[in-house]
Structure 1
Amino acid sequence: MAGAMPALAQGQEGGVLRILGSGDLGRLDPMTVATVGDNNFVRATARTLISYESSMDEDARIAPKADLATEVPEPTNDGLTYTFTLRDGITWDAPDGARDIVAADFERGLKRTCNPSLGTPFLTYYVSLIEGMDTFCDGFAEVEPTVEAMKDYIQNNDISGIETPDEDTVVFNLTEEAGDFIYMLSLSAAAPAPVEVLDYLPDSPEYRENFISSGPYTLAENIPDVQTRLVRNPSWNADSDPLRAGYVDEIELTFGLQADAAIQQIQAGDADMLYDILVPPALIPMLQATGDDKLVAISTGRTAFIFINTKSPNVDGALADVRVRQAINYAINKAAVVQQLGGPFVAAPQNGIFGPGLLGYHDFDLYPSEDAKGDPEKARELLAEAGYPDGISLKMPFRNLNNESAIAQTLQASFAEAGIEIELIPVSAADYYSKYMTNPQNTTDGAWDIAPVSWSPDWAGGAARSVFQPQFSYDGRHQTYNYTDYNNDEANARAKEAINATSAEEAARLWGEVDEIVMADAPVAPFISQNVVVYHSDAVENFEPYALGANGDWTNVWLDR
């Protein structure tokens, strides 16, 4: 292996980093991880070929950096081949002691993603892009979901597009150019897997009891819904890791707390950071008024928008008329929603499908209004042009959770000023996406006309594909979150150019064009982009956010106490 890099600049080593959460970690097996919160656990325990540096600088935070690889490679073979060389000193904390991470571990990791027992939600990005992976996954789907059968299949079948010519080299061959493939390799699903994990079902109790780490920390204790404790990984080599310093000795997560109680503990010095708890909007002005610099807002590209049901038979199919959809865009008082969420520190008016922090995000507004307060007169004018001079009545479900009821009422009030009467339909948080919005019958029957939804990109930086592809493209197969099968051939063609772009600048320009093409059709009405607002104690130093975790990087903070 080659290309070791010096460790990060030294801070203060030692101590226990105490983190408080409301709910538990979801998954501990990196292949199965799907939530932003769990990405922080992955950051500490599992390394990938590509990752990100933790930074307060938003541009630095989303730039892909070499992690287990010596460098971020340029593609060859007309953009279809990516070749990675592994670093020196990268090891597994194996049962028999430190063992080198080798090329075959990366193929094994991706093989596991399409197992029939418990896979990854990110499979869609790899399965048709890596040559031969679709064939491998199709075969895997027929295998009995037992440890023995799955281990046998993985060990005796290969993905033709992944080559391991020696222990230090991994080669990926793609079916088409994909400028964002590098970013996909930062996802937890692309982490290497040691051979021992084939002896357990993915993320099973047995997997957790025999946890093997490649990061600076490893699992010492996991009591579901109570506590998880990480300790130093004795096999981790700081000289091989340019992105993690591993300052603290232990990381202790305690679960079951409410937001107010957690923040009180942090202010009292009894805890250090938050896990899945966000600072309540009511507390933000108070903390800001005292100049508390431990309050941190992190941009993740998360957006909220109104999805417009063009298939609804209600109001004589009015929503199929682009003028009605444009009226909905003009009607929203975005500034009022921003204020309700805690002001500009927490949220900002949003005008396109790509949020801040993504390549393709840019400042444009096809449906402008003064101070983002909405233009009800313009909305009424468009409704009249479409044949609805007296306005229209629409059904709007919303998640009955936290402050989403208040946001729904704010939207209802701004629509009323534009002559759009809204019937609010509360839906439980557990059912909203899983049963209500993703039921195609609800869409075609007109159970809803417009609906507030939110979306976060699956990776950082060049993640526009993970926003556009699942929500705004249609190839004849219904996608779960493209509720109305919206499609625009011009946007698809421009998106393909963006995916194949050879530079970040070109990709950003092309994705920006995609955004404007989609918004001209107005299949949605974006209204806010929302930051993740977190808090930490006086003892925490070097609180630098990690992009995929939307929190301070556990592996790079140190404690001053």
Structure 2
Amino acid sequence: MAMLEAVPEVETNRPRRGGTLTLVGAGDVDHLDPALAYHTATRGILRAYTRQLVGYVASRDRTEAGRIVADMATEVPTVANGRIRGHGTEYRFTLRDGLRWCTPTGPRAMTAGDVVRGIKRLAHPLASSPGLAYYVATIAGMAEYRDLLAATPPGAIADRIADAEVRGLRAEGDSEIICTTSYPASDFLNMLALPFATPAPVEYLDHIPGSPELNAILAANGPYRVTRYLPGESIVLERNPFWDPTTDPLRAAHVDAIEIREGLSERRAHDMVGAAEADMMWDIQPLTEELPPLLASDDPRLEVCPAGLFSPYLVLNFASPVLADRDIRVALQYAVDKAAVARVWGGPRLNDIADQILPPLCTAHREFHPYGTAGGRGDPERARRLLAAAGYPEGLTLRLIFRDRDIHPDTAREIRDAMARANIRVELVGVSINELFSDYFSGGNDRWDMALTGWEPDWYGNNARTYLQPLFDSRGVGPDGDWGANFGRYRSAKVNDLLGAALTAADASVAGELFRQVEVEVLRDAAVVPILFAHQYWWHATTVRNWLPYPVLNGDPTNLWLADPRE
């Protein structure tokens, strides 16, 4: 199908109230319950109907977008304002006046106890939160509380959540919350800005997190409320009549309603936005084949944003006997033609060459290129010399696994062809995403040598933890233990020690220096091959005004508005 012609966008700075924002996509949410919701697309819905103590502004300014600001709290705790105490382990929050719930039984005031309850229910043993590890590792007493719930009979879980206390979570009256961490953590506020840390009304205790029964009683504390959810078909949010805009510095709520239409093909969704039959793409991005004309014409409907994506990169399997040799792992650093991969991923407008792990959006980032090559094109001759020194003058054969859809097969072929020039023969093994994680990453087997994958951080700004801890931490992992996202089963005592020090540093600048040392050590060990920092790109109709990215990147639905049809 021919690309629809770009329609010039009429610029206006006058916000317009009203209308229904229509988003179109292919899939469904993972969960509407904020305790469990983790998918990027779902977070746009959570932005609309939930609020947290602190949060992020929607902004095109990278620095501004990663800065923690007050949301439900009156101010962000700092040492200077006296709200961080105890050598950096005690955080005090005061709720704004006028915060109210919209529940199926009517409105009522939000309390500090609701905030505490929201974090406590993350440890529900029948449906624990994917973000639980952050809070268990940081909040004093959360690990013991998790273990207590795990030992509780199912019929008594609700009462146990209601009655059992967490040492590091305390509500004082209706408006004061005190959070105590086990150690200083420079990124604790970032954890509290995650949707996981959404308050929970008492009614939630009667239901298992994420269950259909809970979905039927979803309560809203943001500007919108979920009024209809037909799984796989549609989600509708309408105005929350009990939200007070004077209490909310982050959400303007210009549109009257938000409708997500699901189950559409990528082509159908793309064409609906191009023809202004829908306002925005939701869980899918513009079609790859349509990107060249969109980029060439600087179509104002295409939004390209650096996202902090460490993607793609190669995981190197330390269970593979041949990759036990560091010289071979280093040879792989020089064997990849990153520029060729960048072309597959849309070229320099849509990605940056990566020679390290922490991207520019991370506050701990400092540019360095331990295995950099001219233009990112690789150095096959140097790779061959390293292989020969390692005892492979005739080269070697390695197996590369990758997802068998989208642009991943083309990416794998570019890597294969580049490595062939370095005398490395690559066997390509395309698998489904389920096979990738269940049959290869979770098994600790040596049936693969390299894997093509990517990583997205859970928050912006002070987020070095979200890359380095999950991907390279091996503290407490036994030979047959759970390695989590450390897919290559990399283990380094020095990295573990540095991570421990970084995670317990109260000062963000100190933590940042320690995280950079972790990055240096991981790359010195050549545990992964960085390839690109991919950007996110989204497409919207000319009806959309004030499209602003925020930490999930697609335009913030609570701050954009729709053009007057007469314009």
Structure-1 residue corresponding to 2:91: 82
2:494 matches 1:485? no
> Residue type of the partner of 1:262?
A
5+ residue gaps, structure 2, are 1-12, 79-83
Structure-2 residue corresponding to 1:554: 557
2:169 matches 1:162? yes
Among 23, 32, 57, which residue is 1:28 paired with?
Answer: 32
2:500 matches 1:496? yes
Structure-1 residue corresponding to 2:182: 175
**C-alpha distance after superposition, 1:295-350 (max 9, x if no partner):** 111222111211111221xxxx3311111111101111001111111111222211
Aligned-pair CA distance for 1:508: 3.3
Aligned residues: 542
**C-alpha distance after superposition, 1:389-426 (max 9, x if no partner):** 11111111111111111111100001111111111112
> Residue type of the partner of 1:277?
I
Structure-2 residue corresponding to 1:97: 106
**C-alpha distance after superposition, 1:131-182 (max 9, x if no partner):** 1111111111122335xx2221112211111111221111111111111111
Q: Equivalents in 1 of 2:561, 2:509: separation in Å? A: 36
5+ residue gaps, structure 1, are 1-8
> Residue type of the partner of 1:434?
S
- 2:22–2:279 CA contact under 8 A, matched in 1: yes
TM-score (norm 1): 0.94
**C-alpha distance after superposition, 1:23-79 (max 9, x if no partner):** 011110101111111111110011011110001111111111111111110221011
Q: Equivalents in 2 of 1:555, 1:540: separation in Å? A: 12
2:394 matches 1:390? yes
Q: Equivalents in 1 of 2:378, 2:154: separation in Å? A: 53
Q: Equivalents in 2 of 1:287, 1:379: separation in Å? A: 38
> Residue type of the partner of 1:77?
G
Once the two structures are superposed, the pairs formed by residues 273-352 of structure 1 within 5 Å of their partners are 273-303=280-310, 304-312=312-320, 317-352=321-356
> Residue type of the partner of 2:74?
T
Structure-2 residue corresponding to 1:456: 456
Rate the CA distance shift 1:476–1:134 in 2: closer, same or farther, 3 A: closer
Q: Equivalents in 2 of 1:105, 1:376: separation in Å? A: 59
DSSP-derived class of the 2:388 partner: helix
Structure-1 residue corresponding to 2:209: 202
Aligned-pair CA distance for 1:503: 4.4
2:529 matches 1:525? yes
Q: Equivalents in 2 of 1:145, 1:382: separation in Å? A: 58
Once the two structures are superposed, the pairs formed by residues 226-245 of structure 1 within 5 Å of their partners are 226-245=233-252
DSSP-derived class of the 1:436 partner: helix
- 2:187–2:508 CA contact under 8 A, matched in 1: no
> Residue type of the partner of 1:56?
R
DSSP-derived class of the 2:343 partner: helix
**C-alpha distance after superposition, 1:366-403 (max 9, x if no partner):** 11111001110111111112121111111111111111
- 2:185–2:506 CA contact under 8 A, matched in 1: no
2:110 matches 1:110? no
Q: Equivalents in 1 of 2:257, 2:172: separation in Å? A: 38
**C-alpha distance after superposition, 1:244-269 (max 9, x if no partner):** 00000000100112222212111211
- 1:37–1:550 CA contact under 8 A, matched in 2: no
2:256 matches 1:249? yes
**C-alpha distance after superposition, 1:502-561 (max 9, x if no partner):** 4444443332232122111101111111111101110100000121x2200000000012
Identity of aligned residues (%): 36
Choose 282-291 or 223-232, whichever is displaced more. 282-291
Among 543, 547, 551, which residue is 2:547 paired with?
Answer: 543
DSSP-derived class of the 1:158 partner: coil
- 1:230–1:250 CA contact under 8 A, matched in 2: yes
**C-alpha distance after superposition, 1:63-113 (max 9, x if no partner):** 111111111102210111111111111111134433221111111111111
> Residue type of the partner of 2:563?
D
Q: Equivalents in 2 of 1:37, 1:503: separation in Å? A: 32
DSSP-derived class of the 1:362 partner: coil
DSSP-derived class of the 1:546 partner: coil
- 1:97–1:235 CA contact under 8 A, matched in 2: no
Among 338, 344, 354, which residue is 2:358 paired with?
Answer: 354
- 2:440–2:448 CA contact under 8 A, matched in 1: no
Structure-2 residue corresponding to 1:467: 467
DSSP-derived class of the 1:406 partner: helix
Rate the CA distance shift 1:107–1:350 in 2: closer, same or farther, 3 A: same
> Residue type of the partner of 1:539?
T
- 1:532–1:550 CA contact under 8 A, matched in 2: yes
- 1:544–1:557 CA contact under 8 A, matched in 2: yes
Rate the CA distance shift 1:555–1:159 in 2: closer, same or farther, 3 A: same
> Residue type of the partner of 2:132?
L
Q: Equivalents in 2 of 1:87, 1:357: separation in Å? A: 31
> Residue type of the partner of 1:457?
P
2:138 matches 1:129? yes
- 1:18–1:251 CA contact under 8 A, matched in 2: yes
- 1:46–1:215 CA contact under 8 A, matched in 2: yes
Among 260, 282, 290, which residue is 2:267 paired with?
Answer: 260
> Residue type of the partner of 1:259?
E
> Residue type of the partner of 1:461?
G
Rate the CA distance shift 1:20–1:508 in 2: closer, same or farther, 3 A: same
DSSP-derived class of the 2:531 partner: strand
DSSP-derived class of the 2:166 partner: coil
> Residue type of the partner of 2:459?
W
DSSP-derived class of the 1:116 partner: coil
> Residue type of the partner of 1:160?
R
Aligned-pair CA distance for 1:10: 7.5
Structure-2 residue corresponding to 1:515: 519
Choose 522-531 or 281-290, whichever is displaced more. 281-290
Aligned-pair CA distance for 1:483: 3.0
Choose 424-433 or 538-547, whichever is displaced more. 424-433
Aligned-pair CA distance for 1:187: 1.3
DSSP-derived class of the 1:431 partner: helix
Q: Equivalents in 1 of 2:335, 2:475: separation in Å? A: 32
Structure-2 residue corresponding to 1:211: 218
Q: CA RMSD in A?
A: 1.6
Aligned-pair CA distance for 1:429: 2.3
Aligned-pair CA distance for 1:471: 1.5
- 1:298–1:551 CA contact under 8 A, matched in 2: no
- 1:116–1:144 CA contact under 8 A, matched in 2: no
Rate the CA distance shift 1:376–1:364 in 2: closer, same or farther, 3 A: same
